[in-house]
Every structure is written in C-alpha cells, then in structure tokens.
Chain A
Amino acid sequence: MGGYGDVELIKENGERLDGRLADELRPIKIEVGVLPAARGSCRMTWGLNIAEVAVYGPMEAHPRKIQRPDRAVLDVRYNMAPFSTSDRIRPGFNRRSREISKVTAEALESIVMVEMFPRSKIRVEIEILCAEAGTRCCGITAAAVALADAGIPMKDLLVSVAAGKINDVVVLDLDKAEDNYGQADLPVGIMPNTEELAFLQMDGDLSPEEFNLAMEYNMKAAKEIHKLQVEALKSKYTGGLE
C-alpha cells in the first residue's frame, strides 16, 4: 500500500473508476479440467487476472527428508509467467513468490485431509498468466477447485478474496489502480461452509470499524464465489454427452 490517499479513485456518484459499487466483485469465471496432463486442474479469470492450476498426486514424497510420517505434504508453487505483468518478470528465484507459495500451502493444508496420506506429497502448481491485482486470491481460490477436481479429500472448499480501503472508503476486490494507490488491502481465505478463516494477510491502515466492514464484504463475496466454484465442479459431471 503506497498510502496515496489523494489519488481520486471514487467518482462523485459513489462509483469506482470501473463503475463498480463498493461491495461489488470484478467479473469471475471458473473452469475445471483444462490441463489434460494433470490429475486435476482449474482455470480462473478474475477481472484481468488469469490463473491456471494443476494438481498432481498424492505420490511418494521425494526427497525422503520432506516426508512426514503422519500426513501428506502439500508442495505448492505460485509462479508468475514472465509476460503476466506490464514489466516482464525474470524467471527464477523470487522472494514474493516464495512467501505466497508458503502461505497458500498452509491455507490449503488446513482444508485438505492430509492425514489420509502419510509420507506422500501432493503437488499444486499455480501459474499466473495475466496479473492485475489480487493474484494470490485468484490462485488460492482456483487451487481449491483443482484439488477437488483431482479428487483429493478435503473438509471444505476455500475461497480467497480481498477487501481494502481507497479514498477512506472500504471497498471489495481492489483492481490494479486501487491496489497501487489504495490505503489498505485485506486478503483472506474463507471456508465457505463453516465460515472459518484459513488464510489472512493485511497491509495498510484500517480502523477496527473499517476492518469489520471489510471482513463483512469478504464474507459476503466468499459466498458468491463459492457458488461459482460449485457450479464449475458440477458442470463437469452433468454436462457433456447430450
């Protein structure tokens, strides 16, 4: 958050620059089974973001030192394609990607029934092909769908979404300009059925009241996105043949 609260991001009629209201999401589309080589896969477009996720396994964990005797390890990689941003990203080691991979893995480990597969490994590969803002939310939400598509047992799905603050107003789902010039960003991962949180980050500046409103927006949006996840998973098995 740059904290550039003086950049005009909300018009006089209360609409945001792209015409959305404060609690409105960007357009979202979810598809499953898009990568034939993977056991399970998902493609999610969210605003201008495009994420594709492949899931492999469970398989024997190598090297042996990463094995856990009581559960499976989730080997999660979040990676941005070199052409996904306005300035090209050099492939290779990247601290931001490492951190996002780590928190994503820990969020997903909270919903996947990892104790069913001791000593094994489940690979989750998140590739961001086009990035606007909110790629980690897009990646986590798509990863949960890809895991379900792969038949990995899980207690619930997981929806990740962010609310934030621009021009002193709490809004849902920041786009690129809002992310660059906004005052706060609060991405969370919500289990849609139990409403528990499996992922939480925040940066910027929020009062307790603003935090509560932001969480309220996130919770409401999670229900909406969950519907799209369910539809995508179900349509794979009910459509087709006719």
Chain B
Amino acid sequence: MVEIVPRLLRDQLKKLAENDSRIDGRNRFERREINLETNILTNAEGSSKVSWGGTVVYAGVKFSLREPYSDRPADGSLMTSAELRPVAHLRYEPGPPSPESIELGRVVDRGIRESGCIELSSLCVVPGESVWNVNLDIHVMSDDGNIFDACALAGIAALRTATVPAEKHDVGEDHPLPVSKTPIMCSYKKVGGRFVYDPNEQEELGGDERIHITLGDDGHVHSLQKGLKGTFSTAEFAEIFDNASTQAAELRNLIEEKVN
C-alpha cells in the first residue's frame, strides 16, 4: 500500500522546523524512551527485545556448524538479516521481501560486520573441517518510526548475550559468543528542511532523506547510508556526525547496563 503524504503534514513540519520545534515537542536531537530486554526467547541462543517509542523489534541468534570455505579454512561466518513483515504496519504488504526490507537488513548487517565486533577466526571449531555460522535475525513487530536504529540496537544486544551451543553439537563446552565491540547506529531524518535524530512515524511520512551512521567504540565510522530522495550539504553532515558520537555513547551505556 502506498501511503499518501498529506500536504498539511509537510506544511506543519516545515513551520515547526522554522520555530525549532518538533511535532511531538521533542528537541532536534532528543531521543524517545527506549526499553531493552535481553535473553527473553528460550529457543534462541541469544535474544533481545527493543521497544523504542511505539516501535517494537525482536532479535534472535542461532548457530549452525558448517564446513569452512576452502580459501578461509579457519573462519566462521556471521549472517545478519532483518525482516519487515506485514505485522509491523498497515503499509507493509505480504509477499517477497521488499527493497525497503532488504535495505534495512543490509545496512544493519554492514554496521555490525564492519565494526569487527566478531572475530571470524574465533568461530573456528576444527580448521579446515568445521566452523560456526552465526545467524542474527531481526524481526520488526511494530513500526512507529526509526526502525533502523531499533534493529541495530536489538541486533548487537542479542549478539552480546549469545551463548555458543557447543554441547548440543558435541564440540566442547558452551561458552559466551566473543563480541569485542559494540557498534551503534544513529539515524537522522531531514524534516522540514533540517535534520532531526530518531524520527517518529509522522516525521518519517512527511520528511525527506535519511542518513544512517554506525559508530564503533573508538568513534570510528563503520557504515553510512543515505536513503530516500533529497540532498544535503557537507556542513549538515558534519553537524549530525558530531551529534552521533554523543548519542552512540549513551546507547552503548544502555547496552552495558543490560548485558553485564
């Protein structure tokens, strides 16, 4: 279903931006309330649930053993996918994954993969014979805006709490999945002519382009994605890039509190 953007909404967002306020009264870089729960799904080896405003996302980690690829005999693998199923919103239709769904999965995947949070060599069981494949699946249940950040947060939280099920596969003792870094995604949306952090549903509907920034613990950037129609200046980017490091630090603390 194609959603119609009400012209009145765009006008209102523009007017609000001129007065430096937002449709729900937040500041430009103010986040909505987040609730993070971990290890809540019995059948997943690691899991999390993120409620972020009215957005609800689950993530689950599953392990399987496989033969390594011949050119990398001692490396395991990490596969991240996110699904935008029709449960999440009126506008999502059943059928094969939409381009939006695939983009979501790939952007979240790049942030986690490129941060190097999981050393692929640590997933080796017997070199040349068997390695772990880690499947991180992210399930969007309710979309009230900013599903990208919610998915990325749920994803890394699930990995941080995952246990490698070695006993079940008869290859040693169960142990925590080694995760050395905590990449955090921060998303900004052009609303009424300027970027805001953590857009809600109405801002997503009535806004323009969005930018996703994934930062590692050391402040290095690991993935960027510009989505939807619109253009921005380098000065605009510099401002949100600067803000992202503050947001990322806060979210990283939230994870540390929950995981440890």
A residues lining the B interface (CB < 8 Å): 34-38, 41, 48, 50, 52, 54, 56, 59, 62, 75, 77, 79, 81-88, 91, 123, 125, 127, 129-132
Is B90's beta carbon under 8 Å from chain A?
A: yes
22 chain-A/chain-B pairs, Cβ below 8 angstroms: A35-B87, A36-B54, A36-B56, A37-B54, A37-B144, A41-B142, A48-B43, A54-B141, A62-B1, A81-B60, A82-B137, A83-B44, A83-B61, A84-B41, A84-B43, A88-B62, A88-B64, A88-B137, A91-B81, A123-B86, A129-B139, A130-B43
**A213 smallest CB distance to B (angstroms):** 31
Beyond the given pairs A36-B54, A75-B94, 12 more chain A to chain B contacts, judged by CB atoms under 8 angstroms and listed by A's residue number, are A35-B141, A35-B142, A36-B144, A37-B54, A37-B89, A37-B142, A48-B42, A77-B94, A83-B44, A83-B60, A84-B41, A130-B41
Residues A82 and B135 in contact, CB atoms below 8 Å apart? yes
Question: Which of B59, B135, B142 lies at the interface centre, i.e. has the most chain A CB atoms within 10 A of its CB?
Answer: B142
Residues of B within 8 A of A83 (CB): 41, 43-44, 47, 59-62, 135, 137, 139
Residues B62 and A82 in contact, CB atoms below 8 Å apart? yes
B residues lining the A interface (CB < 8 Å): 1, 41-44, 47, 54-56, 58-62, 64, 81, 83, 85-90, 94, 97, 135, 137, 139, 141-144, 201
Q: Which of A54, A81, A85, A86 contacts B58 (CB 8 A)?
A: A81
* A37-B144, A82-B137, A85-B43 known; A54+B87 contact, CB < 8 A: yes
Number of A-B contacts (CB under 8 A): 94
Residues of A within 8 A of B139 (CB): 81-83, 127, 129
Residues B58 and A129 in contact, CB atoms below 8 Å apart? yes
Residue of B nearest to A79 (CB): B85
Residues of B within 8 A of A54 (CB): 87-88, 141-142
Residues B85 and A127 in contact, CB atoms below 8 Å apart? yes
Residue of B nearest to A86 (CB): B43
Residues of A within 8 A of B83 (CB): 91
Residues B144 and A131 in contact, CB atoms below 8 Å apart? no
**A201 smallest CB distance to B (angstroms):** 23
* A81-B139, A127-B85, A130-B42 known; A56+B62 contact, CB < 8 A: no
Residues of A within 8 A of B47 (CB): 83
Residues of A within 8 A of B56 (CB): 34-36
